[in-house]
Structures are given as C-alpha cells and as structure tokens.
Amino acid sequence: MGFRRKCDPVIVGNSVIISIRCFDTNGINFVYIIIDGYSYVMDNQESEEIWEFTWNTVRTGLFNYTIYVEDNYNNWDTETGDITVYRIVDNKRIFEITIQILGFSLFGVVMD
C-alpha cells in the first residue's frame, strides 16, 4: 500500500480530508478508519477506488489512526499512521489539509 501525506501537521479547528485509493480484483466492500479510538465509516466517492472521510479537529495532540479495508471475500488489510494537530494564535489562517493513500491492493492477501 503506498502512502503520501500533504500538509501535516494540521492546525486545530480545521478539517482533514483523509482519502484512500484501494482496489481489488474482487471489489471493495467496506472501508473505515479509527482515529483516537473512535470509528468512522469512509464514504465511497464517484470513482469506485476512492474512499474519503473528513475529520474535524477539536483539540491538539498526536492522533494515531488505522484504516481498515475489506474486499468482497471478507479479506482485510490495514494502514496505520498518525496526524499531529497544533494550535496557532492567528485565527485568520484557513487551511484545508489532505492526507492521501495511493496504490492500495488486497489482491492475494488474506488476514485472519
């Protein structure tokens, strides 16, 4: 699974768009993310390979996440990482941050 981040760290109060491009010859059934212990379903976009979730930051810190992907034959794979959220004094700055994971494939992977 390839992984690329853009504009990390994040300023508290801004949204983070987390997207994953995943494909499998059997098709993708379900994608979700756990951030800081909370589980969120990722939405399938117009392209069947792109799944996204928008996370609204409300506090500062280092937040671990795991993305879980299931294909149509109940095979699972994961990607883990972290997002650093900072606070700034200048409230006039507006940021939109994107974290993008590219090149995900479950082909031939079976996880118990």
pLDDT in tens, 44-59: 887 778 888 999 988 8
- Could you tell me which of 29, 8, 14, 108 has the C-alpha nearest to residue 74? 29
Contact indicator for 96, 69 with CB cutoff of 8 Å: no
CATH 3.20.190.10 fits 4-105, yes or no: no
- Could you tell me which of 111, 101, 88, 106 has the C-alpha nearest to residue 13? 88
What confidence score (pLDDT) does residue 91 get? 52
Residue with the two structure tokens 């699972």? 76
- Could you tell me which of 11, 12, 34, 47 has the C-alpha nearest to residue 81? 34
What confidence score (pLDDT) does residue 92 get? 42
Amino acid at 91: N
What is the pLDDT confidence band of residue 66, given thresholds at 50, 70 and 90? very high
Alpha-carbon distance 2 to 79, whole Å? 9
What is the pLDDT confidence band of residue 32, given thresholds at 50, 70 and 90? very high
Say how many C-beta atoms besides its own lie within 10 A of residue 91's C-beta: 8
Ordered by start, the domain boundaries in the chain are: 4-105
Contacts of 53 (CB under 8 A, 6+ apart): 17, 18, 19, 33, 40, 41, 42, 43
